[in-house]
Amino acid sequence: ETKNDPELAKAETVTMIVQVNGKVRDRIDVDASIDEVEMEKVALASSRVQEHLAGRTPRNVIIVRPKLVNLVG
């Protein structure tokens, strides 16, 4: 018998913090099993992040899976 366990469902997604130059610019709900490559893609796809990067490519990307992406410009 399978019950819908809200705690279990909650554990499958996490809120990923996206920082640009150390300042929080976005929070994105992602799958808890997301890999680093996908995390970077999701972070770079964020319109808020794009706004703060202003077309520049980040020099350095620091990823703490699955909770944080820090883009250093």
User: Tens digit of pLDDT for each residue in 46-72?
Assistant: 999 999 999 999 999 999 999 999 999
73: confidence class by pLDDT, cuts 50, 70, 90: confident
Give the pLDDT score at 25: 98
Question: Cβ contacts of residue 47 below 8 Å, gap of 6+?
Answer: none
For residue range 10-25, list pLDDT tens digits in order. 568 999 999 999 999 9
Please tell me whether residue 67 adopts helix, strand or coil conformation.
Answer: coil
Give the pLDDT score at 30: 97
| Cα 6 to Cα 24: distance, rounded to the nearest angstrom | 28
Q: Provide the total of helices (H) and of strands (E) in the chain, helices listed first.
A: 3, 4
